[in-house]
Amino acid sequence: MRQAFMHTLTTLAKKDPRILLITGDLGYGVVDLFRKTFPDRFYNVGVAEQNMVGIATGLAEAGFLPFVYSIVPFAVLRPYEFIRNGPILHRLPVRIVGIGGGFDYGTNGLTHYGLEDIGVMRAQPDIMVIAPSDEGQTRNALLATWDMPGPIYYRLSKDETRVVPGLNGRFETGRAQVIREGKDIIFITMGSVTNEVTDAAAALSGEGISCAIVVVASLSPPPVEDLIGLLSRFRVALTVEAHYITGGLGSLVAEIVAENGLNCRLIRCGAHKTPHGEIGSQAYLRQINGLSSGELFNLALSEREKEHPCNHH
């Protein structure tokens, strides 16, 4: 997603001289295209993320469109108060680009995981929060939003390869995208972990369980109407996110279910606890946090059984 984002951003920067790229000394091999094309509009501010967001705020006040870039926890958590008191408080078009999210930086450890970024960003009413699921959706999300007033947070996965089947790069702010129709269970997902869900749904269909999948890339503004319509048709919904189960997509769906009195049981899949001493590949971390396709398959089977104990075979 990083390459697609940077490629699209460079293209946009050719027609809009307001666009600047500011990195906190990250993006080796990723920021090169922009840096080479616009050496005067690229700044590496060093390992100084508070200042990075502060100067972006000062630049945006004067009419520039700065994109600040770092790994999720350094783009969001370290300068969080600067984001709040800067672009959000002043309603300025600063774009926070967080790379990774979830367990993308698996072997790097918790310092590099993004497990609460959606939660803390979603808690701020006046910043758009976007977490695309694949490259095509990343490209279209950027094209649909780059020019919008006010700040935006983009959470981009490191995954450059897998394409989410059925998504075809669709994106619309405040909308959700159905990528698979089904009638028994609905999966609601965000980000690159969507591929685990599509694999699980394919396996579940082999067991005679028909799963719908809906992708939520526009976390804020949330696709409330879309989700009400979809959730009303299901008895069981599973949210799947590479994020703590509090504050992110699962919480968003829980709010919608509760506030609209929907008759739908919700199971939130995600990280339940701080990963103390848990190091490994993204695949391993997804698995031990119940987010691998296999774990999701097992969970969906048992949840389905609770709904229809007699039909189990």
Partner 1 sequence: VRCRFFDIIALQPIPKVFARFFVILFIRNRVCRVIEMQQSNCSLSSRIRQMILRCAKRANVGHIGSALSTVEILAALYWHVLRIPAPEDPQRDRFILSKGHAALALYVTLFLKKWITEKELVTYCMDDSLLGVHPDHLLRGVDFSTGSLGHGLSLGAGAALAARLSNSSRRVCVLVSDAECNAGSLWESVMFAAHHRLSNLIAVIDLNGQQALDYTERVLDLSPLSQRWRAFGWDVHEVDGHDIESISTTANELATISGPPHAIIARTIFGKGVSYMENQIKWHYWPMSDEDYRQALEETRKTLGSDR
Question: What is the contact surface with partner 1 in residues (CB under 8 A)?
Answer: 20, 40, 45-46, 48, 50-51, 53-64, 81-82, 85-86, 89-90
Q: Nearest-CA neighbor of 230 among 191, 170, 299, 183?
A: 183
**Closer residue to partner 1 in complex, CB, 74/234:** 74
**Closer residue to partner 1 in complex, CB, 48/110:** 48
CB of 62 to partner 1, least distance (A): 3
**Closer residue to partner 1 in complex, CB, 59/152:** 59
CB of 124 to partner 1, least distance (A): 15
Q: Nearest-CA neighbor of 249 among 195, 189, 192?
A: 189
CB of 48 to partner 1, least distance (A): 4
**Closer residue to partner 1 in complex, CB, 78/286:** 78
Q: Is 257 helix (H, G, I), strand (E, B) or coil?
A: helix
Work out the widest C-alpha separation in the chain, in whole angstroms. 67
Q: Nearest-CA neighbor of 50 among 74, 71, 73?
A: 74
One-letter amino acid at 207 equals E
CB of 94 to partner 1, least distance (A): 10
Q: Which two structure tokens, joined as six digits, stand for 44?
A: 């590496």
| Cα gap 117→131, rounded to integer Å | 11
CB of 89 to partner 1, least distance (A): 5
**Closer residue to partner 1 in complex, CB, 81/225:** 81
Q: Are the C-beta atoms of residues 182 and 218 closer than 8 Å to each other? A: no
